[in-house]
């Protein structure tokens, strides 16, 4: 578990490092709060819609890992080809949906300066939709077969590409025109194209190295495989949508409070996302290991993999909570030199420290359940936790009781505590009582 979880956690951190670089580098522009807020709004909207489409391919964790555990490489290849076809079909639809949201920005009561900076940034970022979808497909395929080195390399090297692109396009170096916040969007787009190309080359290389006959496998589009991918992937994507969408909604609501609260919100959200990425990588490893063990008919191995992953997450997120409590203000100062922005960010980091442990539990339990083929329960838990409890309570505290952004985060904190506790209990019940049934169903389907 540790051999797989460590590089995948590093990969997730590398993924988020792009957002960190974007936020920090635009934060040095003249109007720091507006620039950070524009990146926050644009990135949040894109992730809410774009990652929903990409989340469809989380079903590959179950399909490819279980097939690989059962020694059926051809099934892995069939799943890859059909997922690639689906990525090409979904991407234009997702791009249209993202762009269709732009005319509604004024209805959210956002400041005109924020809208002016956000729109061109988002229009640049939207061109990364297809590369992002292809990256998701290739990454899920490779890591489910224990190929993680190219995934780590792609993210680390892509961050270097992004740093160079931001430096050149935001400020106008190396002969490029200074584009401000918009340049950050184009830099991220180029970086994602690069990542997809690296993983495509890795898939070709490892196929030749392992003689796995990727090119001899049928590349025919098969409706049955597409339906199976959707059956597993749609609830997983919906779970992502409910979770990311909740924070996106919170971002737009906090944006109504002004540029400074929004900048503080973005700082806290960025830091909380960093800590979240480690258990997210552990959760991906749990999905692979649980899926491989169930594919091989090893119930004890699946149980051991899931609980080991939860243990690693608990250790890391407990340490993260302590760091956020003790170092909130110095961390916020990294993002902006403005005192009001630092104070707003540090206050929200204290709230984030409270839900660290439960945030880790929910994402790792989600991964373990996905490896067992259960993607519906996490979807329902996120729907109820965020949209029926967390956001309504947060809005009440934020606006009616005038607690501002900390009130919004208090509502989200309660949601995470409930979701994390519930999904951990569901995993315990699933592997204890339904493990043999899950394997039996999988073998019957084969």
Structure confidence by residue, pLDDT tens digits, 171-188: 888 888 888 888 888 999
φ, ψ for residue 189, nearest 5 deg: -60, -50
Higher pLDDT, 427 or 214: 427
- The residues, ordered by sequence, that sit 6+ positions from 342 with a Cβ below 8 Å of its Cβ are 329, 332, 333, 335, 336
Helix axes 299-335, 435-445, angle to 10 degrees: 100
The DSSP secondary structure of 162-178, one letter per residue, reads: HHHHHHHHHHT-TTPPP
Predicted pLDDT at 439: 41
Task: State how far the Cα of 132 lies from the Cα of 309, in Å rounded to an integer.
Answer: 27
Q: What's the rounded mean pLDDT across residues 231-244?
A: 88
Task: State how far the Cα of 106 lies from the Cα of 110, in Å rounded to an integer.
Answer: 6
Structure confidence by residue, pLDDT tens digits, 40-96: 788 878 877 877 787 888 888 889 998 988 888 888 898 999 999 999 999 999 999
CB atoms within 10 A of CB 296: 16
Higher pLDDT, 285 or 441: 285
Q: What's the rounded mean pLDDT across residues 344-370?
A: 94
Helix axes 299-335, 2-26, angle to 10 degrees: 20
CB atoms within 10 A of CB 265: 28
The DSSP secondary structure of 244-291, one letter per residue, reads: HHHHHHHHHHHHTT-HHHHHHHHHHHHHHHHHHHHHHHHHHHHHHHHH
Kindly state the tokens that stand for 324. 């956020």
- Return the SS3 of 328: helix
- Mean pLDDT for all residues in the chain: 87
If one counts the domains in the chain, the total is: 1
Alpha-carbon Rg for the chain, nearest whole angstrom, is: 21
Structure confidence by residue, pLDDT tens digits, 71-85: 888 888 989 999 999
Supply angle C-alpha 350, 362, 397, rounded to 5: 45
Predicted pLDDT at 438: 43
Task: State how far the Cα of 435 lies from the Cα of 61, in Å rounded to an integer.
Answer: 17
Portion of the chain with pLDDT greater than 90, in percent = 46
Expressed as residue numbers, the domain containing 275 is 2-445
Task: State how far the Cα of 121 lies from the Cα of 108, in Å rounded to an integer.
Answer: 18
């Amino acid at each position: 578990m540790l051999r797989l979880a460590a590089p995948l956690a590093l990969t997730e951190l590398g993924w988020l490092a792009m957002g960190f670089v974007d936020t920090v580098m635009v934060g040095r522009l003249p109007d720091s709060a507006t620039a950070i807020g524009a990146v926050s709004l644009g990135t949040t909207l894109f992730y809410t819609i774009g990652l929903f489409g990409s989340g469809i391919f989380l079903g590959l964790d179950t399909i490819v890992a279980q097939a690989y555990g059962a020694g059926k490489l051809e099934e892995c290849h069939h799943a890859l080809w059909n997922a690639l076809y689906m990525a090409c079909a979904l991407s234009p639809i997702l791009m249209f949906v993202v762009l269709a949201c732009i005319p509604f920005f004024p209805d959210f009561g956002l400041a005109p300066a924020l809208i002016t900076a956000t729109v061109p940034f988002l229009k640049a970022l939207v061109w990364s939709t297809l590369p992002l979808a292809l990256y998701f497909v290739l990454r899920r395929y490779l890591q489910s077969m224990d190929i993680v080195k190219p995934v780590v390399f792609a993210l680390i090297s892509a961050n270097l590409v992004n740093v160079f692109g931001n430096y050149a396009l935001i400020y106008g170096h190396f002969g490029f025109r200074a584009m401000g916040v918009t340049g950050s969007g184009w830099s991220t787009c180029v970086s994602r194209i690069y990542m997809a190309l690296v993983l495509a080359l890795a898939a070709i290389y490892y196929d030749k190295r392992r003689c796995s006959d990727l090119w001899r496998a049928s590349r025919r589009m098969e409706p049955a495989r597409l339906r199976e991918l959707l059956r597993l992937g749609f609830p997983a994507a919906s779970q992502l949508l409910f979770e990311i969408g909740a924070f996106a909604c919170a971002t737009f609501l906090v944006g109504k409070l002004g540029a400074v609260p929004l900048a503080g919100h973005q700082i806290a959200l960025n830091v909380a996302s960093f800590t979240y990425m480690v258990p997210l990588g552990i959760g991906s490893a749990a999905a692979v290991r649980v899926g491989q063990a169930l594919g091989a008919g090893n119930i004890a191995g699946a149980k051991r993999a899931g609980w080991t992953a939860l243990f690693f997450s608990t250790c890391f997120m407990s340490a993260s909570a302590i760091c956020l409590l003790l170092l909130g203000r110095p961390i916020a100062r990294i993002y902006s030199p403005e005192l009001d922005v630092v104070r707003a960010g540090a206050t929200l980091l204290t709230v984030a420290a409270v839900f660290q442990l439960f945030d880790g539990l929910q994402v790792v339990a989600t991964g373990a359940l996905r490896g067992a083929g259960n993607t519906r329960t996490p979807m329902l838990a996120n729907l109820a936790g965020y949209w029926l409890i967390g956001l309504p309570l947060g809005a009440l505290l934020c606006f009616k009781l005038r607690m501002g952004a900390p009130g919004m985060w208090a509502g989200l904190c309660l949601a995470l505590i409930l979701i994390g506790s519930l999904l951990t209990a569901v995993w315990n019940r699933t592997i204890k009582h339904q493990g043999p049934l899950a394997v039996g169903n999988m073998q019957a389907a084969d």
